[in-house]
Amino acid sequence: MIPRSAVFALALPFASPVLAEGFLISPPLECDLEKDCDIQQYVDSDPSSDAMDFTCGALSYDGHKGTDFALPDRARINDNIPVLASAAGRVSGMRDGMADSGYSSATADDIDGKECGNGVVLDHGNGWETQYCHLKQGSISVKTGQEVALGETLGFVGQSGKAAFPHVHLSVRQDGAVIDPFDPDGTVTCDTPGDSSLWSLRPEYRGGGLISIGFSDAVPAYNAIKHGDAAAPSLSVQADALVIWGHMFGTRADDIINLSITGPDGMVISDDVTLTKTQAQAFRAIGKRGRVDWPAGTYTGTVTMIRGLQIISQRSTDIEIR
């Protein structure tokens, strides 16, 4: 793989250099990209067995053919977040009925050949298609042959098919060729990424960030964080420990995660954790055991993600100890 620090132009073999004038798309979710959802994976712009996104960053994996708009945890699936048509078109295909079980060794056989899970394909004319994958079981509200408007609800976000987390995977194609909506001219230029776009209003690129943070009385299980069950609403003054945790995406080796807790009497704990590898998702936690009763009152936890000299994400949350 060519080093990401290099300045170069790379022509992509799977992208079409000829774009139909006037075809633009909107995001398939209405959400705040710093609070309610995140774009966690982009189209793979590296034709080798390595992977990189359109900025020459690490938010992709080998052969990834779409853009992943992710919810923070599985509990949000129950909120029925609408998946929206990114452009007006006609439904040319759909599938429903697959469970929101996610991908694992136990589900691999059932998912084989149906990696998109519950999904919809829209035909926009002039060879353009969009595809929406991993929708919630039983939520798809359109039928094959139906005309849909820009922004019309197609279904809800789920975790069906080959999905490691709840999200909608949006693929864009022209004449069957994969098009990256962030760089549709098919040329990745690391010093000036995304100099072309299919977005009517292009979503901001974030090279990683915090998905969620929370307090607990012990270091939580990772599955509890991913399911949305890890954050305690309040704690007792007799809690065994006071822990702040942060769940992140797009982490890189040498990123620094600062976690801190401040209470009614001032700083309780603060520590820096240096990450050792690049990961699609990760979590870290620090805490302090209670030797005597915690002072009652409001405690503030802050998690800061630092890359080099730049803060790339920071969140705070409060909890009452009674």
Looking at residue 161, its pLDDT comes to 96
Cα atoms in the Cβ-side hemisphere of radius 13 Å centred on 238: 0
Query: Per the structure block, which two tokens stand in for 120?
Result: 């919809």
Q: How far apart are CA 14 and CA 183, in angstroms?
A: 12
Same fold, 26-189 and 209-321: no
CATH 2.70.70.10 for domain 26-189: yes
Residues 5-27 as b or e (16 or more Cβ within 10 Å = b): eeeeebebebbbeebeeebebbb
Residue 149 identity:
A
Looking at residue 233, its pLDDT comes to 97
Q: Strand ranges (DSSP E) for the chain?
A: 9-11, 38-41, 67-70, 82-84, 89-95, 118-125, 128-135, 147-148, 153-156, 167-174, 177-179, 187-189, 209-216, 234-235, 241-251, 256-263, 266-274, 279-289, 297-307, 310-321
What angle (nearest 5°) sits at the alpha carbon of residue 180, between those of residues 179 and 184? 75
- Residue 99 Rama label (left phi>0; alpha psi -120 to 50; beta): beta
- Which mean pLDDT values do the consecutive 10-residue runs of the chain (322 residues) have? 33 39 90 89 93 93 97 97 98 97 88 96 97 98 98 98 96 97 84 81 94 97 96 97 97 97 96 96 96 94 97 97 96
Q: How do the domains of the chain map onto residue ranges? A: 26-189, 209-321
SS3 for 78? helix
- For tokens 């209405």, the residue is 30
Looking at residue 15, its pLDDT comes to 38
The domain made up of 209-321 has a fold known as: Immunoglobulin-like (2.60.40)
Looking at residue 291, its pLDDT comes to 83
pTM score, whole prediction: 0.89
Closest to 249 in 3D by CA, of 57, 43, 6:
57
Looking at residue 14, its pLDDT comes to 38
SS3 for 250? strand
The terminus-to-terminus CA distance of the chain in angstroms comes to 54
Please check whether residue 91 is in contact with residue 122, taking contact to mean a CB–CB distance below 8 angstroms.
yes
- For tokens 């003054």, the residue is 237
